[in-house]
Amino acid sequence: MSANLLAIFYLVSGVLFILALRGLSSPETSRQGNLYGIIGMIIAISVTVISVGNFSIGFVYLIIFLIAGGTLGAFIAFKIPMTAMPELVAGFHSLVGLAAVFVAISAFLNPEIFNLGYPGDIKIASLVEMSLGAAIGAITFTGSIIAFLKLRGIMSGSPITFVGQHILNLALGIILIGLIFYLCKTQSENLFWSLILISFLVGILLIIPIGGADMPVVISMLNSYSGWAAAGIGFTLENTALIITGALVGSSGAILSYIMCKGMNRSFFNVILGGWGATDDTSSKKSSEQKPVKSGNADDAAFLMKNASSVIIVPGYGMAVAQAQHALKEMVDSLKKNGVKVSYAIHPVAGRMPGHMNVLLAEANVPYDEVFELEDINNDFANCDVAYVIGANDVTNPVAKTDPQSPIYGMPILDVEKSKSVLFVKRSLSPGYAGIDNDLFYRENTLMLFADAKKMTEEITKNL
């Protein structure tokens, strides 16, 4: 295949990726967006396979690894539960970063294969590109691994900090810049390996001080990093598809991270540099045993909702864990038959990744026009008879408005406490992912429903 024809096909796939992003910006067009993305990736992969050349050793290896990787990816996609989707995304980001590192290593050790020059005499521009791609890829790899461990519960979701952490991060950042500069001057193999090793360390240090409340931002930020790593390697390989795709992923991930930080009243630079929320939150960790709570059952909840004129559903990670979205839809249908107006309120960081709740509700065929984002529905809580909180915790915690020492202080929350009655479905009074107690549990208008989210919702439906 000629270089011109190859570029045209890569351009077509790039346009399809742009259309995919546009489609994914709205729940109504997300399926169409996914389809565009699939078609674009099929074109990009097919053209790449053809360009390698039939029946060459490279072609055989390419087919073997495509089949192996595709089979493994399909198996994981079929088996993974929706609750594990955030850590799956983090895991995939780590693989993208590692792939960028491997390609950079290959290009540095065998530059003549990629038309970049010869060992010790690599083009300066190419050396800068592969250095940046390798550094960002290495940071993405270890950062994503830490995010995976935190989301999986293997590592504590609380910020992990130590004295002089930010100074160390700054020093390592300056060292990385210096290594890239001297690498371009000397083209020393030792400097190249040092660059990669220090970048691995930086990835760890950037993510460990970020608390659980900010983990959704971390996921989108790492998504952005993986895109920039791919784009950097794309320039090195002079691959149009990698450049376009990497730039799209990098820029869209950065924009999403900025939007989420703004929505959470976070500093974008504080989050991406690590350590936001690493405050002493002991004042927020009040003992739940010393404060009385009102608890109820499905009978009480059904009575309150059946006699309400309006109900707002607030889904959270607890709903995802219990896979309660279908039971919730049945309960809402029963309420509608009784003439109750029902809406869904979605916080930007409900769950553990952007759009987590939207995906679950779409899976249960909840109409899009009943689902509202925080800024569109928050004022409605004051006129709402019942707020049904199913597994959401940190995103409803009034402490975000009142306690400057809290790690979620300043984050906009759903104002469920303003509702006439709050039904809070939770297994226990344990704190949320940010590790702090929720003052909403102890309010006069709150009725705690201690149970599995799915079972409680099914019992309420029976009582309705």
What would the pLDDT profile of 40-74 be if each residue is shown by its tens digit?
A: 999 988 888 887 766 667 778 888 888 999 899 88
Average pLDDT over residues 391-416: 85
pLDDT, position 279: 44
CATH architecture, domain defined by 283-463: 3-Layer(aba) Sandwich (3.40)
Is the pLDDT at 393 greater than 80, yes or no?
A: yes
Least confident of 73-87, 263-277, 390-404: 263-277
Mean pLDDT lowest among 135-149, 248-262, 438-452: 248-262
Top-confidence residue, 430 or 267: 430
Tokens of 59: 């072609």
Give backbone dihedrals phi and psi of 203, rounded to 5 degrees, phi first. -60, -40
Whether the predicted pLDDT of 136 surpasses 70: yes
Amino acid sitting at position 296: G
What is the side-by-side order of every strand in the sheet holding 386-390? 371-373, 341-346, 310-315, 386-390, 421-426, 446-450
Asked which of 82-91, 177-186, 199-208, 448-457 is least confident by mean pLDDT, the reply is 82-91
Structure token pair of residue 56: 């060459």
Half-sphere exposure of 327 (CA within 13 A, CB side): 18
Dump pLDDT digits (tens) for 142-151: 999 998 888 8
Q: Count Cβ atoms within 10 A of the Cβ of residue 92 and give its class: 0-12 exposed, 13-18 middle, 19 or more buried.
A: middle
**Mean pLDDT on 257-263:** 75
From residue 449, alpha-carbon distances to 83, 334, 426, 463 in Å are: 22, 19, 6, 15
Q: Which helix (H) or strand (E) holds 189?
A: helix 189-207
Percent of the chain scored above 70 by pLDDT? 90
Q: Residue 284's closest CA among 194, 427, 406, 463?
A: 406
Per DSSP, 391 falls in state B
Sorting pLDDT into bands at 50, 70 and 90, what band is 241? confident
* Strand-strand pairing, 341-346 and 121-122: unpaired
Q: What is the mean pLDDT of residues 410-416?
A: 88
- The amino acid at residue 337 is K
Residues 374 and 377: their CA atoms lie apart, in Å, by 6
Q: Where are the alpha helices (DSSP H) in 238-324?
A: 240-263, 268-273, 298-306, 317-322
- Range with the poorest average pLDDT among 177-181, 182-186, 250-254, 274-278: 274-278
Q: For residues 141 and 152, what is the distance between their CA atoms, to the nearest angstrom? A: 16
The answer to whether 217 and 349 have CB atoms below 8 angstroms apart is: yes
d(CA 155, CA 404): 26
41 φ/ψ angles, rounded to the nearest 5 degrees: -70, -35
- CA 395 from chain centre, in angstroms, equals 16
Q: What band does 176 get if pLDDT is binned at 50, 70 and 90?
A: very high
| Angle (nearest 5°) at CA 91 between 87 and 94 | 140
Answering whether pTM is above 0.85, one says no
What is the pLDDT at residue 277? 43
Instruction: For the chain, state the CA radius of gyration.
Output: 25
- The mean-pLDDT minimum among 85-99, 204-218, 233-247, 366-380 falls in 204-218
pLDDT of residue 153 exceeding 90: no
CA-based angle 351:328:322, to the nearest 5?
Answer: 50
Euclidean distance between CA atoms 25 and 42, whole angstroms: 22
Q: Which residue in 394, 415, 437, 439 is the catalytic one?
A: 394
Q: Quick check: 192 pLDDT over 90?
A: yes
Residue 285 scores a pLDDT above 60: no
Q: What is the pLDDT of residue 278?
A: 46
Across 126-130, 256-260, 275-279, 311-315, least confident range: 275-279
Residue 403, SS3? coil
Distances (CA, A) of 52 to 4, 46, 62, 113, 242: 15, 10, 9, 13, 16
Task: Average the pLDDT over 182-194 and give the result.
Answer: 93
How distant, in Å, are the alpha carbons of 20, 424, 458 from that of 454? 34, 13, 6
pLDDT of residue 281: 42
Residue 311's DSSP bridge partners are: 342, 386
Q: What is the pLDDT of residue 42?
A: 92
Which stretches does DSSP call E strand in 292-377? 310-315, 341-346, 371-373
What does the pLDDT read at residue 309?
94
pLDDT at 85 (0 to 100): 77
Evaluate if residue 287 carries a pLDDT over 50.
no
| Among 240-244, 265-269, 370-374, the least confident range | 265-269
CA-based nearest residue to 161, from 206, 220, 202: 206
Q: Strand 121-122 relative to strand 371-373: parallel, antiparallel, unpaired?
A: unpaired
Q: Are 454 and 322 in contact (CB under 8 A)?
A: yes
Banded pLDDT at 280 (limits 50, 70, 90):
very low
**Alpha-carbon gap, residue 124 to 116, rounded angstroms:** 9
Non-local (6+) Cβ contacts of 347 within 8 A are 314, 316, 357, 374, 392, 395, 396, 413, 414
Identify the residue whose tokens are 């009582």: 463
Strand, coil or helix: 278? coil
Q: How confident is the model at residue 101 (pLDDT cuts 50, 70, 90)?
A: very high
pLDDT, tens digit, for every residue of 288-345? 445 788 999 999 999 999 999 999 999 988 898 888 999 999 999 999 998 999 999 9
**394 flagged as catalytic:** yes
Average pLDDT over residues 146-173: 84
In the predicted model, what is the mean pLDDT of residues 96-100? 92
Which residues have CB under 8 Å from 127's CB, separation 6+?
A: 108, 183, 184, 187
Would you say residue 186 has pLDDT above 50? yes
pLDDT of 161 strictly over 90: no
Provide the token pair at 30: 């997300």
What is the pLDDT, as a whole number, of residue 92? 87
Task: Tell me the average pLDDT across 153-167.
Answer: 80
Where is pLDDT greater, at 344 or 363? 344
Phi, psi angle pair for 49, to nearest 5°: -60, -45
**Mean pLDDT computed over every residue of the chain:** 86
- Where do the structural domains in the chain lie, given as residue ranges? 1-79, 87-273, 283-463
d(CA 290, CA 288): 6
